[in-house]
Amino acid sequence: MLFVVQCLHDRGVLLSATLKILSNWSIPSTWIKRIFADTDILTNPQVFQGYKELTKACPDSVQVLVYPPKNFITDDGYINFEKYSPDDWIEEKDDIEIILRKVKEIKIESIEKYHQNFRVVEKSEIQLKRGKPNEEVIQWLCDYFQGRLLYISETSQFFYYQQKGYWGVFNSKTLLDRVLSDVETNQWSYQILENALKLVAPKFFRDAEEVMQLFLNRRYIGFQNGVWDFETGKLLEHDPQLYISGLLPFNYVSASQPPFKPSAPGFVLGL
């Protein structure tokens, strides 16, 4: 005689519900030789866990039998995750021989291996999609911005020292765009960098008034090939500590007189 028991599939629920039904029928779990599983044991990890727990209460020789999906790929090219329960494919006239011809045995360990591989890919894709930050990207941003980033939380502005040799003002989006254009390679998605920046920014917090004072220095003026120091009369290399907010579009050429006199503070301040 063949018994088909229909139960819930939550992990542990399938086990307890099935064993309870069998107990009511005075059938010990050691008598179970075959488990006719729903087809979605192949694709649904939660369903699989329920059947896995059930097999542990059965003899080691128990078989897990599945009615194979008939239309795994539809005519229009989509994957069809079919779900067949035994009551969907067992017909009234079927005897045990006919039933066994309709199903195939599946090894629990093979399903588990498939689901493990699937979960690794799934987890990776979800993290990439949601942009979950990690310690590695946070550390990379901290190292990259060291000495070249100021953050004003009141206005959500970033003062960033660019490779061109001067400081610029950015919001979070334009800052990341600039960084990605400056670096040669990047292994993280934009969303991961964006979320990591939210955690990194407070490490570079500066008061707005303090930042303004840094850029009020009228001692320097920037050129393409360096920074002129009015006090020493020398051309210095570009340096973030000089707090230059712009460069003239040409090189400084040495002459007997400095290119500009300090008597033009308004012009210098605007650069």
**Residue 256: pLDDT band with limits 50, 70, 90:** low
Separation of alpha carbons 238 and 225, rounded Å: 8
> Which residues, 6 or more positions from 231, have their beta carbon under 8 angstroms from its beta carbon?
219
User: What is the mean pLDDT of the segment spanning 1-28?
Assistant: 60
Predicted local distance difference test score (pLDDT) of residue 157: 93
For the segment 59-81, what is each residue's pLDDT rounded down to a tens digit? 888 898 888 877 666 676 766 66
Cβ atoms of 205 and 157 within 8 Å: the answer is: no
Predicted local distance difference test score (pLDDT) of residue 108: 84
With 60 as the cut, is the pLDDT of residue 266 above it? no
- Retrieve residue 181's tokens: 């254009």
User: What is the mean pLDDT of the segment spanning 183-211?
Assistant: 89
Predicted local distance difference test score (pLDDT) of residue 267: 41
The helix/strand/coil state of 53 is helix
Using the Cα atoms of residue 240, residue 242, residue 244 and residue 247 in order, give the sign of their dihedral.
Answer: negative
With 60 as the cut, is the pLDDT of residue 22 above it? yes
Separation of alpha carbons 65 and 56, rounded Å: 16
Separation of alpha carbons 30 and 56, rounded Å: 10
Q: Where are the alpha helices (DSSP H) in the chain?
A: 13-24, 45-56, 86-89, 96-102, 108-130, 135-145, 172-182, 190-200, 208-214, 265-269
**Which residue bears the tokens 């390679």?**
185
With 90 as the cut, is the pLDDT of residue 182 above it? no
Alpha-carbon distances of 127 from 13, 124, 194, 195, rounded to whole Å: 30, 5, 13, 12
**Residue 48: pLDDT band with limits 50, 70, 90:** confident
Q: Which long-range CB contacts under 8 A does 123-131 form with residues at least 24 apart? A: 127/192, 128/189, 128/191, 128/192, 129/191, 130/191, 131/189, 131/190, 131/191, 131/192, 131/193, 131/194, 131/195
- Retrieve residue 22's tokens: 């069998």
Predicted local distance difference test score (pLDDT) of residue 264: 45
Which one has a higher pLDDT value, 4 or 188?
188
User: What is the mean pLDDT of the segment spanning 97-123?
Assistant: 75
Distance of CA 244 to the CA centre of its chain: 37
- Which region, left, alpha or beta, applies to residue 243 given φ > 0 means left and ψ of -120 to 50 means alpha? left
Cβ atoms of 28 and 35 within 8 Å: the answer is: no
Predicted local distance difference test score (pLDDT) of residue 241: 94
With 60 as the cut, is the pLDDT of residue 153 above it? yes
With 90 as the cut, is the pLDDT of residue 148 above it? yes
With 70 as the cut, is the pLDDT of residue 159 above it? yes
User: What is the mean pLDDT of the segment spanning 22-40?
Assistant: 83
User: What is the mean pLDDT of the segment spanning 215-240?
Assistant: 92
Predicted local distance difference test score (pLDDT) of residue 139: 92
With 90 as the cut, is the pLDDT of residue 17 above it? no
Predicted local distance difference test score (pLDDT) of residue 79: 64
User: What is the mean pLDDT of the segment spanning 245-271?
Assistant: 63
Percent of the chain scoring above 90 in pLDDT:
28
